[in-house]
Structure 1
Amino acid sequence: MFRTALRNVLAHKGRLLMTTLAVMLGTAFVAGTLVFTDTLASALRSQNSKSYTDIAVTVSDREAVARSYDHGSKAHTGPTLTEDTRKAVAALPGVADVRGVVSGFAGIADKKGALIGNGFSTTGTNYVPAADGTDPRYPLVEGRGPKNATEIALDAKTAEKGGYKVGDTVRVAVNGPVMELKLTGTLRTNDPRVVAGGSLAAFDSATAQQLYLSPGRFGELDVKAKPGTDDSALLAAVKQTVPHGDNLDARTGRELADKQDRMIQQGTKGISTALLVFAGIALFVGIFIIANTFTMLVAQRTKELALLRAIGASRKQITRSVKIEAALVGLTASVAGLVAGIGIAAGLQALLNGPLEANLPDGPLVIAPSTVIAALAVGVLVTLVAAWLPARRASRIAPVAAMSSAEQPATQKSLVVRNTIGLVFALAGAAGLAAGASNKEVKLVGAGAGALLIGVFVLTPLLSRPLIALFAPLLRGLYGTPGRLAKENAIRNPRRTATTASALTIGVTLITALTVVGASVNKAVDKATASDLKADFTVTMQNYSMLSPEVAAQIAKAPGVSAMSVERTVPVTTGGNGANGSHGADGSDGPDGSDTEWLTAVDAATIDQLATVKVKEGAADALKQGKLLVNSGSDGSTRYKVGDTLAVTYPDGTKGSLTVGGVLDSSTSLTGIVAPDAVVGPHAAPGTGPNRVLVKGTDGPTEKLKQALRDATGGNPLIAVKGEKDIKAENRQIVTGILNMMYGLLGMSVVIAVLGVVNTMAMSVFERRREIGMLRAIGLDRLGIRRMVRLESLLIALFGGLVGVVLGIVVAWAGLRTLADTFKGITTEVPPLQILGFLLAAAVVGLVAALWPAYKAAKMDILGAIKSE
């Protein structure tokens, strides 16, 4: 039976080609994902280890680090790392050197004033020269390190992006006025934020301390040990030397490197899991093709199987022979897929580091044994699973019945059982979707969507006849006999048509659902931006940290500004609410049992001109009276009622009392507890600036006003001035980027579905060669034959596309209901042009997939076809 199976595989190479390609593509996706993520993780770990090669122990000041990156953080309360601390640690036995480190955000402007990199990866640090005048952390590419407050060094890539050369003047911003500094040198760095496309600005230590902390203070001490020194023993000594405080944390370099490695592993595992989901979708689509192929092969070999049964082959042997064929196909395809996957990983690495400029760390491809085993196992297993049902059917063919017919029709009983199972799954799925949408339960929606898809797939043969019949009048009217024959051929074997169409349905369903969700989210965000925000422009930091305190005054003086309001978040400690004793917004308790509340402070006199302030209870002018407004939330509930009083302690230690004067409608853009800035602002932590500033212009959102705001803030590259159009475009860009990535990942499943249509049509032509010969003999010309095959393929593709579009819209509707709390007023938006485009794309897929089968059918010899069996 093994030799028989091998002979069958070799005899049907052409008919198994598309199946092999489908398995190969799915396996290549899996192998490519595993190789790419293993390679990325290895390169990141290698880069990470370089960052800690000379660090035995690190002491970090959490408060200093927090303040370095956000000047709005709370004031210093614990011990600090000073120059005296550094010297004390340096004097310990076994210590070779101690480097004091200061770091924070630093925005570098290009020569047009735009920020280089993104706000989250614009890093600033101190340059600490060793005895030879260079900092071993940052090897020089050109020039030298900075020596005073007028100088700066940049990483080489940032200097190149900005068009800067040594000696040029660079515009730099931290959290205050823009500085113009002389570029003294360019550096190399292993900092992953910089490698990933960020920027690095290096100042001399005194300047960095002045910018980020205070003179003589460090955020971190990195200890280098002498050869032979035990890191653990050195850590114990360092802990005894540095001041004791909850804000100080001492660890060995190895501990930190291991922690980073775990984070890298977790991050790459998340990427791998996400990619493998799409690989799984591609393989799932492949199952339909494999099952279809083996079903048709078994049907075409019924006489051969009957003869084997007649000469003594048992059912188990027949089943085994088909499974061996599937295993041979799966193994061949998996080996090819593994090789292709390695190529995909290499190509993806080159693409990301080339045209896409992802700046991932370089490293050799990692092909782990587990990857090889997984790729081969997945390919073979998927093929065996898909071929199991056809193999089982083959074993049940009675010898006499098989000899009398080329193909055994499905029994009425099997169709009833199939349709009953499909209906049960479909109804359960629809109920799950409805319940999940009603209760906003994502998991329930997911389970319902899965059950509905399974139910529809099982019911697809039943649906194929009425849906395909919809196109029959059009085909008959346009194409006459070929159109009528195409329709009859498409519904002749509903199971085959359904299986072929289902492969395309999966891709169309997912793409439609993504498109509808994307369009709906965009519409909701656009609507919220237009209705809630009345301001012409918002001024924020690129990294969404707090603005410097002087920015509000600068903006107020800008020409063309008619109204403005700061918006700052201020934490206060409350003694509880006399009315209901509720806890703080973050649920945290103070040291004496009190609560922490976060107040959003705004300018009471102007906020109604800049944002929607819709009060559903209490006084509309509560803020002007020095009182609070509380947002009711999406569910309409409130933690505080009008008249409630809060006894508060402000960040500067001052005690006060605040009264709730009104309850805001949930549709307003102001969230949480809103307070007048005139009351709360003076008691904020020293150096605290606003989160953003809302601005309205005399002449509306003009480019002149936008430029005036930029000029007023000193052309700071870290400050973003955004109007309604900018915010909408930014949001749409995020959604579009995610959708494009999803489309690309789903592309593999669509390609496999196309292969399925090609395979089905090619094998169908071979199966019906006698019928085609008869049609030619009675007068249907080659053009008519080609047209008949193409129209049949078109009908199958349109059927799959139509079912996919409907399912996609239904699933998207249910999923969007779970987002109602996140996006106010979100509704299901179905973009008609894009949906029509998907159906047209499905039609094109059907026509393209039929080109080769139609050509083969038209070229068929008439007499040879008639004599075939």
Structure 2
Amino acid sequence: MKVLGTQLAGVARRPARLLLTGLAVLVAAFVVYSTVLARDITEKTAIEGFTGTPAAADLVVSPGGDNEFADMEFRAQDIAKLKAVPGVAEVVGRPRAGSELNGDFIEFVADPGSGPLATVHATKGTYPAEPGQIAVSPRTADRMGLAIGNTVTIHTGRDKNDKPIKPVKLTVTGIVDAESDFGGTAYAPQSTVSMIANSDLMQQVELRLEPGADAAAVTAAAERVIAAAPAPQEGGARPQVRTGADVRLAEAQQAASGIDELFLAMGMFVAIAVGAAGLVATSTFRIVFAQRMRQLALLRAVGAGRGSLWRALAVEGALTGFVAGTVGVLGALALGQATPPLLRAFDIKVSSPGLPVLPAVGVVLLSTVITVLAVLAPALSAAKVAPLEALRSASTTAGRKSIGKIRGAFGVLVAAGAALLVAYVVANLPGPDTKNYDAEPMMYATLGSAALAFLALIALGPLLVRPVLATVGWPLRRLGPVGRLAVGGVGGAPRRAAAVSVVVALGVALIAGVVVTGASSRVLADRELASSAPADFELTANGDSATVPATVVTQAQASTDLTHVTPYRRLSDVEIPGGENTWKLRVTDLSMTALPELKKIDVTRGSLAAIGPGKVAMNTYVAEHHGLDVGDTATMTANGKKLQAQVVAILPDSGPLQSDIVTDPGDLTKLGAAATPTGLLADAAKPGEEGRTAGQKAMRQLAAGHSGLGVAVLADQRDEYDKMITTMLAVLIGLVGLTVLIAVVGVGTTTALSVVERVRESGLLRAVGLSRAGLRTMLTTESSLYGVIGATVGLLLGVPYAWLMMKSLGVNLPLELPVGQLALVFLALVAFTALAGVLPARRGAKVSPVAALATD
């Protein structure tokens, strides 16, 4: 009996059913190969778009060894020697320097500004041609308030007390077209940058050769110059000569070095999505084989053995995987090839991914293997059909509602293992004062418990469907017969409902974990930033003994562009006698109620509201070092004066503005602090970028008339952290969304196959009076119930495990429950699964009652 030929002929007659059966695998193959193409596009774009060493540089003298940023023993006089070598057309030395300008750091980069070896060119004004002239990037000009013609003063050195010395005046002559503009870079010829750096050492030297010059001879001459130079100083590097092509390749590869790590992390989420596709495929094959049970029984009745029937079904599964994988790869390839020209239409330049053949073959083989693994259990079950099933009136068999004893025992066993691991982690969680806590074992135990819990859910899912459905389906039952029919339809096939809902639960659990962790991380970041950046702007006086004039404070308080103007004082040489080592502590009298951001600061013990005369707050490190706690008395000394104060609060980290102790203004005066403030904090009076720009301008105007005052924009720190967290969450949710996509595809496939399976049932419902709209609503509601069950179970698993993972890290991470976001996740999943059932429901509702009742 040629059972295999019979099955393959059936597949050929219904190719649409084959694609529908393997739809989840098709989507998985599409995602996997799209990830491969995205990596190639990203890497090629990074390499081709990297701007480092100019393309005109034929030879490069750069530091040898691993430290590419070290100053090498190659000086200005060595550059002059290279210029005299026959065949050398141009030599450019590139030292670097840095300094402070109006409270901000500015980097000085050497560049000729014209010629083949120039990396920047003046777009406004002129490029520096005289000593003491600089050009700046557009963002640097905006952020630092620099305009063409401005003269600024920087300091090129510091004395033994770390006070700035050696002032140098620089004039801004132009704005340049910098490729990478981070808002703190100035450009000038090599001589000016060397003067600012107080050194004539180079970080890189580039040589452009004359046409037809002997590169080997020039290289040998450069190596002789290097050999004649003194040995490198400590921390320096011996120069080496390389070709410009080699240097540019190394720079490009380094620029793309993080891409592999990024896509390796993405691969973990893609692997989860592939696993989800395997689960969906298993469920789909069970449904398809159940629908063909009469046909399979007929084959058994005419002599087909169980082995041959099982092998034929397995080959059918392999063919499904091969076709689905091929279609998925071709779809991804079409998208990958279309993406670069589409983005170029929006002036976004990206490289073409090419045609990675080996990954394409690998994805197709992976799809085939996954589908074969997915079809094994359903095929074994279907091959056991008795020949007497052919005599039944129905062509399908009812799905089993129970699970086997072995499966049940396995589910209970892994559930117990998950519970034991949770108990182990909870018993070993760190307390507030735990020392030398090792988070790694707890993290692995938590991940292991989550994996076991998911395995238990797969095994025991059919038993959990009915109690969960009884709870979440209660409102639907009260809506009328359509709701009751929908709940009964899902509950009548618990194994099918469990198989689909488990994949939805996996996606929701992952998203819930990301959302809860993100909300907690954002609260922690807000608390930490409330200490380091409690206001939008900070004006400080340089030097430990320098102060802010009272007139500046008065002008700031009168400014209409500033609000919450809060002066403060700080002492940096306070000591608490006792302990093994005596630390110099920073003490401030900043009011903890003056700024809105300060309300976000948390305490380990005590209360910040209790700070007052004779009462202080201190960070955990100082308290532990001196054996102090809330209620104890601390003795502080400074400037030959002594103060005793009660500790009323312990801060988990540093206090505001990196202080160690927060005290009352009167107590700080007793320790010898000057009457005038050492700094001033303020917020922008108006919201948005316009308000911040106006506030920044007002602060710089306050500092402009007084030497030694610097302005820092603290709000930028908050913006950077917020952007980083938002981007991280968006990326993670996007990656986790791959699993959700597979789950939604599984719901749609299951609903479509159920419609085919239940044509007679649909016709009977239509015959007894159910309208097309009612039938369509019933089927769509069934589809949405898969999402309701999965989302409910996913939230019940995802939120506790997210909390447990955060606690196991051992950091002071608050446990937040973003109810609104989790509710949105729940509703979105229910909506997606409902939409997945709309088309199958419309198709099922179109069947006439007479035709449906005639179906066997």
What amino acid is aligned across from residue 458 of structure 1 in structure 2?
A: A
SS at match of 2:713: strand
Map Cα deviations across residues 295-349 of structure 1 (whole Å, 9 max, x no partner): 1111111122222233343333322322322222222222232233234445666
* In 1, Cα distance between equivalents of 2:545 and 2:192: 22
Residues of 2 paired with 1:339 and 1:639: CA distance? 67
Structure 1 position 127 matched with structure 2 position 111: yes
Name which of structure 1's ranges 240-249 and 858-867 shifts more when overlaid on structure 2.
Answer: 240-249
Query: Which residue in 2 is equivalent to 1:336?
Result: 327
785, 788, 791: which one aligns with 1:795: 785
Report how far residue 456 of structure 1 moved. Answer: 1.9
Q: Distance in 2 between matches of 1:741 and 1:247?
A: 40
1:786 to 2:789 alignment? no
d(CA) in 1 for partners of 2:183 and 2:298?
71
Local SS of the residue matching 1:138: coil
State the match for 2:75 in structure 1.
82
Higher mean Cα deviation, 20-29 or 658-667?
Answer: 658-667
1:680 corresponds to: none
Contact 1:139–1:187, Cα closer than 8 Å, also in 2: yes
**Deviation digits for residues 160-207 of structure 1 (CA, Å, limit 9, x no counterpart):** 999x99x966899988999762327x5576xxx55xx77864212233
Question: Match for residue 387 of structure 1?
Answer: 375
Q: Which residue of 1 aligns with 2:515?
A: 515
Q: Is the 1:150–1:182 contact (alpha carbons within 8 Å) kept by the matching residues of 2? A: no
Of 221-230 and 735-744, deviating more is: 221-230
Q: Is the 8 A contact 1:566 1:601 kept in 2?
A: no
Change (3 A) 1:423 1:408: farther
RMSD of the TM alignment (CA)? 5.3
* Conservation of the 8 A alpha-carbon contact between 2:73 and 2:230: no
Q: Which residue is equivalent to 2:414?
A: 425
3-state SS, counterpart of residue 665 of structure 1: strand
Distance 1:753 1:60, change over 3 A: same
Q: Secondary structure of the residue that 1:364 maps to in structure 2?
A: coil
SS for the counterpart of 1:821 is: coil
- Secondary structure in 2 matching 1:228: helix
Alpha-carbon distance in 2 for matches of 1:488, 1:2: 37
Q: Which residue of 1 aligns with 2:837?
A: 850
DSSP 3-state at the match of 1:57: strand
Task: Give CA-to-partner distance per residue, 1:213-254, whole Å, 9 cap, x none.
Answer: 126454444466851249699558625524422322134446
**Per-residue deviation, 1:462:** 1.0
Counterpart for residue 399 of structure 1: 387
Q: Tell me if 1:865 matches 2:847.
A: no
- Contact 1:630 1:638 (8 Å CA) reproduced: no
- Alignment CA distance shift 1:832-1:699 (3 Å): closer
Deviation, structure 1 residue 491: 1.0
Distance 1:536 1:199 in 2: 22
TM-superposition CA deviations, 1:726-767 (whole Å, max 9, x none): 766654443222222222333333233222112111111111
TM-score w.r.t. the length of structure 2 is 0.75
Letter in 2 for 1:786: R
CA distance in 2, matches of 1:446, 1:637: 33
Tell me the TM-score normalized by structure 1. Answer: 0.74
Retained in 2: the 8 A contact 1:504–1:801?
Answer: yes
Instruction: Kindly indicate whether residue 17 of structure 2 is the aligned counterpart of residue 15 of structure 1.
Output: yes
396, 404, 424: which one aligns with 1:415: 404
TM-aligned CA distance change 1:169 to 1:805, over 3 Å: farther
1:651 aligned partner:
none
- Structure 2 residue 208 is matched with structure 1 residue 209: no
C-alpha contact 1:102 1:218 (8 A) present in aligned 2: yes
Aligned counterparts, 1:487-502, within 5 A: 487-502=487-502
Secondary structure in 1 matching 2:115? coil
Q: CA separation in 2, counterparts of 1:172 and 1:351? A: 46
- Paired amino acid for 1:127: D
Q: Distance in 1 between matches of 2:634 and 2:86?
A: 61
CA distance in structure 1 between the partners assigned to 2:538 and 2:344 by the alignment = 33
**Shift in alpha-carbon separation, 1:534–1:760, aligned structure 2, 3 A:** closer
* Cα distance change on mapping 1:539 and 1:578 into 2, 3 Å: closer
Aligned residue in 2 for 1:539: 538
SS in 2 for 1:470: helix
Contact 1:61 1:80 in 2 (8 A): no
- In 1, Cα distance between the equivalents of 2:363 and 2:66? 45
User: For the residues of structure 1 that align with 2:617 and 2:357, how far apart are their CA atoms?
Assistant: 62
Aligned to 1:839: 826
* Cα distance change of structure 1 residues 141 and 459 upon mapping to structure 2, 3 Å threshold: farther
The CA deviation at 1:786 is 1.9
Q: Does 1:54 align with 2:78?
A: no
Which string of whole-angstrom CA distances, capped at 9 and with x for unpartnered residues, describes residues 640-674 of structure 1? 899999xxxxxxxxxxxx99999993435349995
Q: 1:327 to 1:534 in 2, by over 3 A?
A: closer
Is 1:37–2:39 an aligned residue pair? yes
Deviations 1:582-606 (A, max 9, x none): xxxxxxxxxxxxxxx9x78636666
Partner amino acid, structure 1, of 2:768: I
| Equivalent residue in structure 2 for 1:776, among 746, 766, 778 | 766
Counterpart for residue 567 of structure 2: 563
Residue identity opposite 1:274 in structure 2? A
Q: Distance in 1 between matches of 2:416 and 2:353?
A: 48
Q: CA 1:62–1:798 in 2, change beyond 3 Å: closer, same or farther?
A: closer
Q: Which residue identity does 2:484 align to in structure 1?
A: R
2:766–2:772: 8 Å Cα contact kept in structure 1?
Answer: yes
Partner of 1:451: 452
2-structure distance, mates of 1:465, 1:427: 21
Q: Following the alignment from structure 1 to structure 2, what is the Cα–Cα distance between the partners of residues 519 and 272?
A: 25
Secondary structure of the corresponding residue to residue 385 of structure 2: coil
Residue 486 in structure 1 maps to residue 486 in structure 2 = yes
Structure 1 residue 465: deviation in Å? 0.5
Is 1:285 the counterpart of 2:276 in the alignment? yes
Other-structure match for 2:161:
none
Matched-pair identity in %: 22
Q: How far 1:91 moved relative to its partner?
A: 6.3
Deviations 1:445-474 (CA, angstroms, capped at 9, x unpaired): 222222222222322211111111224442
Name whichever of 313-322 and 24-33 sits farther off: 313-322
Structure 1 residue 146 corresponds to structure 2 residue 150: no
Q: 1:54, 1:644 → 2: CA distance?
A: 66
AA matched with 1:134:
G
**Does residue 372 in structure 1 map to residue 360 in structure 2?**
yes
The answer to whether the 8 Å contact 2:402/2:463 transfers is no
Cα displacement string for residues 489-542 of structure 1 (whole angstroms, at most 9, x for unaligned residues): 101111101112122222211111111112222233334555x579545539xx
Are the counterparts in 1 of residues 107 and 185 from structure 2 also a CA contact under 8 Å?
yes
Q: Which residue of 1 aligns with 2:666?
A: none
8 Å CA contact 2:541, 2:548 repeated in 1 = no
Change (3 A) 1:223 1:42: same
Contact 1:65–1:104 (8 Å) recurs in 2 = no
CA, structure 1 residues 776+673, in 2 after alignment: closer, same or farther (shift >3 Å)? closer
Assess if the C-alpha contact under 8 Å between 1:89 and 1:241 holds in 2.
no
Matches within 5 A, 1:745-784: 745-784=735-774
Give the whole-Å Cα distance in 2 for the aligned partners of 1:289 and 1:698: 54
- 2:322 alignment partner AA: L
Structure 2 letter corresponding to 1:435: Y
Amino acid at match of 2:654: S
Report how far residue 834 of structure 1 moved: 2.0
Is the contact made by 2:282 and 2:378 (CA closer than 8 Å) also made in structure 1?
Answer: yes
| Whole-angstrom distance in 2 between the partners of 1:569 and 1:408 | 84
Instruction: Assess, with a 3 A threshold, how the Cα gap between structure 1 residues 751 and 714 changes in structure 2: closer, same or farther.
Output: farther
Residue 713 of structure 2 corresponds to residue 721 of structure 1: yes
Which residue among 287, 297, 312 is the counterpart of 1:296? Answer: 287
Shift in alpha-carbon separation, 1:779–1:401, aligned structure 2, 3 A = same
Measure, in 2, the Cα distance between the counterparts of 1:705 and 1:17.
61
How far is 1:794 from its partner?
A: 2.3
Deviation at 1:14, TM superposition (A): 3.4
CA contact (8 A) 1:39 1:365 kept: yes
Structure 2 matches for 1:292-371, cutoff 5 A? Answer: 292-345=283-336, 362-371=350-359
Residue 364 to residue 161, structure 1, CA distance change in 2 (3 Å):
farther
